[in-house]
Amino acid sequence: MTEDEARERFAGARVGRLASIDGDGRPHVVPICFAMDGSRVVSVVDAKPKRTMQLRRLDNVRRHPDVQLIVDHYDEAWSSLWWVRISGRASVVEHGAAREDAVDLLVNKYRQYQEQRPTGAVLVIDVDRISSWHAAGG
């Protein structure tokens, strides 16, 4: 698939799996909602039930900003399979115009955020690389 096709599939996905590095150097993978804007991907700590708003992924990024985020499509017809992975450096934004711009992107993508605008920290990923794969028919 071309990079433009990969970007389109990535941007259209509803959920991705974020991989970061924890304090012990181990991988930490969690599903996230996200939005893509050019070479930037954003996610926000939202109101879905959590034990705390101070999420491990935020601490991980503060220590080790290198992350990956993957989206995929599975189908019983394996000729339809595909995945797209972005690699980049992330940062945590808690206040200001950059945070509000990121939340606006997410509000435009997710109806739930229109109903309850997120108030938590924003994760911003500056994309360095896009990798992708698709089956012959995908």
Give pLDDT, residue 51: 53
- pTM of the predicted model as reported, rounded to 2 decimal places: 0.90
- The torsion defined by the Cα of 118, 122, 127 and 131, in degrees rounded to 10, comes to -60
Give pLDDT, residue 12: 96
66-121 residue pLDDT tens: 999 999 999 898 899 999 999 999 999 999 999 999 999 999 999 999 998 998 89
Class of domain 3-134: mainly beta
Q: In the structure, what pLDDT confidence band is assigned to residue 49 with cuts at 50, 70 and 90?
A: very low
Question: What backbone torsions phi and psi does residue 118 show, to the nearest 5 degrees?
Answer: -65, 145
Longest distance between any two alpha carbons in the chain, whole Å: 46
**Domain range summary for the chain, segments of one domain joined by +:** 3-134
Q: Which whole number is the average pLDDT over 28-39?
A: 95
